[in-house]
Homo-oligomer: A and B are copies of this chain.
Amino acid sequence: MEKITSLQNQKVKAWTKLREKKERDRTGLFLAEGPHLIEEAMRQGIVETVITDGRYSFDGVQMVEAVPQVLKKLSASVSGVSCIAVCRQFTLPVKDPRRVLLLDRIQDPGNFGTLIRTAVSFGFDAVYVSEDTCDLYNEKVIRSTQGAMFHIPVIRATLSDTVRALQKDGFRVFGTSLHNAVSMSEAQESEKMAFVLGNEGQGVSPAILQLCDQSMFIEISGFESLNVAVAGGIIMYRYRGKR
């Protein structure tokens, strides 16, 4: 096994750059940290190289051993990791969808990752995200998905096109808004449902809301608003997929 002992190693320099979105976009690669995520990535066949301190070994993939400083440099974790994989970006195919989540300009990586995790938990079939939603391969997003990103298609798209395409396919598309909206309990359940959640500060953009079949709001008692990942969780639970 190749052994890397220097931070000046050219590969280490190249891998470190993958912590930046620009370089991930350019190369189509990303970093996945820790044995759990690497196993999920291996199951998808997208792992190029695993860098490890020697404590982990994976079969059928190129392994590189590195000193702890190298892993520390590649990792976003403060507590340190024992293995990091260089992976190819991927998109799972959408199969016969019944429940779809649309994310309009979600900014916070934690919210984005949590929404993906929740979508998988409640049997959703796909997540479409606006071009300006934060990067799926941001390490905080990956960490927040807890591996769920390997179990659901996450597709970057022009949301107005997606809404129209879903409607053509028989979907009822719900916006989330406090104005001109029905309460979530009043919304009618149907076989194919899609829900649009919006930006943390501004909500769903008016142009998208206008395309939706209906808007819904979550009945709250006291405060003016909910965190978007919490709101998404409540909606996805209520209309969870049956599979």
Binding site for B on A (CB under 8 A): 110, 114, 117-118, 120-123, 144, 146, 148, 151, 218-223, 225-227, 229-234, 237, 240-243
Indicate if the CB atoms of B240 and A219 lie closer than 8 Å: yes
B contact residues around A221 at 8 Å (CB):
121-123, 240-243
Q: Per a CB cutoff under 8 Å, which of B148, B222, B237 touches A120?
A: B222
Indicate if the CB atoms of A227 and B114 lie closer than 8 Å: yes
B contact residues around A232 at 8 Å (CB):
230
Known contacts A123-B222, A243-B221; A118/B230 CB under 8 A: yes
Indicate if the CB atoms of B234 and A121 lie closer than 8 Å: no
Bound-complex Cα distance A6 to B56 (A): 51
Q: Per a CB cutoff under 8 Å, which of B222, B225, B233 touches A230?
A: B233
3 closest cross-chain pairs (CB), A and B: A123-B221, A230-B233, A121-B223
Bound-complex Cα distance A234 to B233 (A): 7
Bound-complex Cα distance A218 to B238 (A): 11
Question: Nearest residue in B to A229 (C-beta to C-beta)?
Answer: B230
B contact residues around A225 at 8 Å (CB):
121, 146
Known contacts A233-B233, A234-B233, A234-B234; A118/B226 CB under 8 A: yes
Q: Per a CB cutoff under 8 Å, which of B118, B122, B226, B229 touches A121?
A: B226
B contact residues around A231 at 8 Å (CB):
233
B contact residues around A230 at 8 Å (CB):
114, 118, 229-230, 232-233
Bound-complex Cα distance A241 to B220 (A): 9
Known contacts A234-B233, A234-B234; A117/B227 CB under 8 A: yes
Indicate if the CB atoms of A222 and B121 lie closer than 8 Å: yes
Bound-complex Cα distance A122 to B122 (A): 22
Question: Nearest residue in B to A220 (C-beta to C-beta)?
Answer: B121
Question: Nearest residue in B to A241 (C-beta to C-beta)?
Answer: B221
Question: Nearest residue in B to A200 (C-beta to C-beta)?
Answer: B146
A-B contacts, 18 listed (Cβ < 8 Å): A114-B230, A118-B226, A118-B227, A120-B222, A121-B222, A121-B223, A121-B225, A121-B226, A122-B220, A123-B221, A144-B227, A219-B237, A220-B240, A227-B229, A229-B229, A230-B232, A233-B233, A234-B237
16 further interface pairs, Cβ-Cβ under 8 Å (given A114-B230, A122-B221, A144-B227): A117-B226, A120-B222, A121-B220, A121-B221, A121-B223, A121-B226, A122-B220, A123-B221, A151-B223, A219-B237, A221-B243, A226-B233, A230-B233, A231-B233, A233-B234, A234-B237
